[in-house]
Chains A and B, each alone.
Chain A
Amino acid sequence: MPSERWMHGALAAAAFLSATAAVTIFIIMAALGWPILRDGHLLQVLTGPWLPLRHQYGIGAMILGTLWVAGLALGLAVPISLGCAAFIQTTGPRGLGGLLKHLVQLMTGIPTVVYGFVGIFLLVPLVRDVFGRGSGLSILAAGVMLGLLIAPTLILFFVEGLAAVPRAHRLAVSALGGTPVQQLVYVLLPQAWRAILAGLVLGFGRAVGDTMIALMIAGNSVAPPASILDPARTLTAHIALIVAADFDSPEFRTLFVCGLTLYALTSLGVVAMRRLATKHLEAP
């Protein structure tokens, strides 16, 4: 039928468009950052310090900042999200689970900048007072807030994943006399592994790519962070701060290297998690 073919064509075009957009962005960034890549300064740019007054444009500290902040956010968000999803879907009472789910859905709609704003006025002074040193603008504050930001999305993904496990499997566990916790650990989690992984990938991408929270709460200092209470600058906040610099300056050109690094980080993360997925499924 012609309309069937037309539909196929339209969907194929949509898929092609999305793939092309992703590839095009990569090509444009590589092309505009080419002068730095070509001159062989790549290692210097990736690991050196950021001292524009001495003509040193290294983004090493920013890469560290991104890894620390995103790492902390994921480390906090993933266990809590898994637990919350398990509670909503299996172990918690039905009414409470439904209420929590609606609450979480509400939280996903809150704009990032609101989290940043709340972080500045509530979390930063708290961190400063509790630890007694530093200004409160730190990796800890940014990581916690970022974890709070990505948790609702992760929770919803995990809930969907757990809910997608066929009812027959859950009934089978009950028939064997298993408790809800055993059902969760031995059947639901292994079966929902794919969805959980998809959620993780999304969470990782979001944590690495978030700008507002890192810009407002992490302090943006150019020194490489040495502890969780130190301020740090992430790649995304760096781009946001430098983007107003003159178009032709070397500072501006390092932004494209920043973009490529972010792209590479996210891609590496996705590939690594995919690897984990297949490995797990191959295990007996």
Chain B
Amino acid sequence: MKMKWTCIGAMALWLVGGAAMALAGDLDPFKGEAGAVKISGGTAHIPVMKAAADAVMRANPKIQISIAGGGSGVGIKQVGEGLVDIGNSGRKPTDEEVQKYGLVLHQWAIDGVAVVVHPQNPVKALTSAQLKEIYAGRLSHWKALGGPDKAINIYTRDEASGTREVFWEKALAKGEIGTKALFAASNGAMKTAVAQDPYAIGYVSVGHIDAGVAPVALDGVAPTLETVKAGTYKVSRGLYSSTKGAPQGLTRKFIDFIFSAQGREMIVQQGFIPVQ
């Protein structure tokens, strides 16, 4: 009996909360709309996509927005093949891809890619040269960097990852990644892995950093929103949402919502830098 009233009370609060969000003007274009939007691709985009989708779906329950991961490669491929309406990627689709699929790009944020270690790890700053040596497998013990006497466990991302692409190009200067590196399948998985392993080193999108992992300063520059925005932290990339041809209908409204004031707020909240 009590359980029933607790559930009803919770639902009422949820509806009221939803209604409060619906009062915001940016969601007006969705009034009276119905349909589905399918989104997939980069895992760094997911928090923002989810926040936006939540707001839209609460304002208008007739709209269904589904968000999948898979990595930047998957996003570009799926939107190009017409399997999804919006394909997210953490790297700019190549000219080849744009031409092959007829993609229209929408960049809505800049994101940094930060090197992270376990919070208990005393090593909190590295130079680019050291990072290259670590990832190539040549520098293999934390002791050499002033840390505990344990081997460094390198974590990297799978081949379809835009985060990996940016990290490899800009932080490693296209250096090699050792064969002993462990693979995580998404930003979330990478974060979990590093948070669980005291001797790990990995890289995640700056927006994904929370109390579970500690960011590492690269060449003296800490990876924060300010340094990414100012350009002093060089390992950054644009977050793109691509559509096949110009976006239509509900898809276009969703993309416009991401660029709106409320969308920008969500982007900032998740730790990215909004871009017009």
Is B73 part of the contact surface with A, judged by Cβ < 8 Å?
yes
* Distance between Cα atoms of A254 and B215 in the complex (Å): 37
**B179 in contact with A244 (CB, 8 Å):** no
- CB-CB under 8 A from B159, the residues of chain A are 52, 241-242, 244-245, 251
Q: From residue 109 to 143 of chain A, which have CB atoms closer than 8 A to chain B?
A: 120-121, 124-125, 128, 133-137
Number of interface residues of B (CB under 8 A): 26
CB nearest to B94 among chain A residues: A246
B263 within 8 A of A: no
Is B182 interfacial (CB 8 A cutoff)? Answer: yes
Closest CB in chain B relative to A214 CB, distance in Å: 11
* Inter-chain contacts of B73 with A (CB < 8 A): 244-246
Nearest Cβ distance between residue A120 and chain B, in whole angstroms? 7
**B interface residues with partner A (beta carbon < 8 Å):** 70-71, 73-74, 77, 150-151, 153, 158-160, 176, 178-183, 185, 189, 192-193, 196-197, 199-200
**Any B CB within 8 A of the CB of A220:** yes
Query: In the complex, given contacts A216-B185, A241-B183, what are 6 additional A-B residue pairs having Cβ atoms less than 8 angstroms apart?
Result: A52-B159, A128-B197, A137-B193, A220-B183, A244-B70, A246-B73
Instruction: Report Cα–Cα, A244/B73, bound state, in Å.
Output: 6
Cβ B200 vs Cβ A49 within 8 A: no
Chain A residue at minimum C-beta to C-beta distance from B199:
A135
Bound form: Cα–Cα A245–B73 in Å: 6
Chain A interface residues toward B at CB < 8 A: 49, 51-53, 120-121, 124-125, 128, 133-137, 215-216, 219-223, 231, 233, 240-242, 244-247, 251
Chain B residues whose CB sits within 8 angstroms of the CB of A251 once the complex forms:
159
Establish whether residues B153 and A221, one from each chain, have CB atoms under 8 Å apart when the complex forms: no
Q: Would you list 5 pairs from A and B whose C-beta atoms are within 8 A, ordered by A residue?
A: A53-B176, A120-B192, A121-B196, A124-B196, A221-B180
User: A134 vs B181: C-alpha distance in the bound complex, in angstroms?
Assistant: 11
For A221, the chain B residues whose CB sits under 8 A away are: 179-183
Across the interface, which residues of A come within 8 angstroms of B182, CB to CB? 135, 137, 219-221, 231
Q: Nearest-CB distance from B158 to chain A (Å)?
A: 5
Closest 5 CB pairs of A and B: A244-B160, A220-B183, A223-B179, A135-B153, A244-B74
In the complex, what distance in Å separates the CA atom of A121 from the CA atom of B192?
Answer: 9
| B-side contacts of A215, CB under 8 Å | 185
CB-CB under 8 A for A231 and B151, given A52-B159, A244-B71 = no
Chain B: minimal CB distance from A238 (Å) = 10
Q: How far is the CA of A244 from the CA of B71 in the complex (A)?
A: 8
- Chain B residues with Cβ below 8 Å from A128 are 197
Cβ–Cβ contact A49 & B70, under 8 A: no
Residues in B neighbouring A223, C-beta threshold 8 A: 178-180
CA distance in complex: A125, B153 (Å)? 13
Residue from B150, B182, B192, B197 whose CB has the most chain A CB atoms within 10 Å: B182
The one of B151, B180, B185, B193 that contacts A241, using a Cβ cutoff of 8 Å: B185
Q: Compute how far the CA of A221 lies from the CA of B158 in the bound complex, rounded to whole angstroms.
A: 10
Are A135 and B185 closer than 8 Å at their CB atoms? no
Cβ-closest chain B residue relative to A53: B176
Contact A222 B153 (CB under 8 A): no
Q: Given the complex, which residues of A lie within 8 Å of B200, measured CB to CB?
A: 135
Query: What residues of chain B lie closer than 8 Å to A241, measured between beta carbons?
Result: 158-160, 183, 185
Report B191 CB to chain A, min CB distance, Å: 12
Please determine whether A133 and B71 come into contact, CB atoms closer than 8 angstroms. Answer: no
Tell me if A245 and B153 are in contact (CB < 8 A): no
Given the complex of chains A and B, what is the CA–CA distance between A247 and B200 in angstroms? 33
Output the least CB separation between B154 and chain A (Å): 9
Q: Please measure, in the bound complex, the distance between the C-alpha atom of A121 and the C-alpha atom of B199, giving whole angstroms.
A: 16
Closest A residue to B176 by beta carbon equals: A53
Known: A221-B183, A233-B183. A244 touches B77 (CB 8 A): yes
Known: A49-B179, A246-B77. A120 touches B158 (CB 8 A): no
CB-CB nearest in chain B for A49: B179
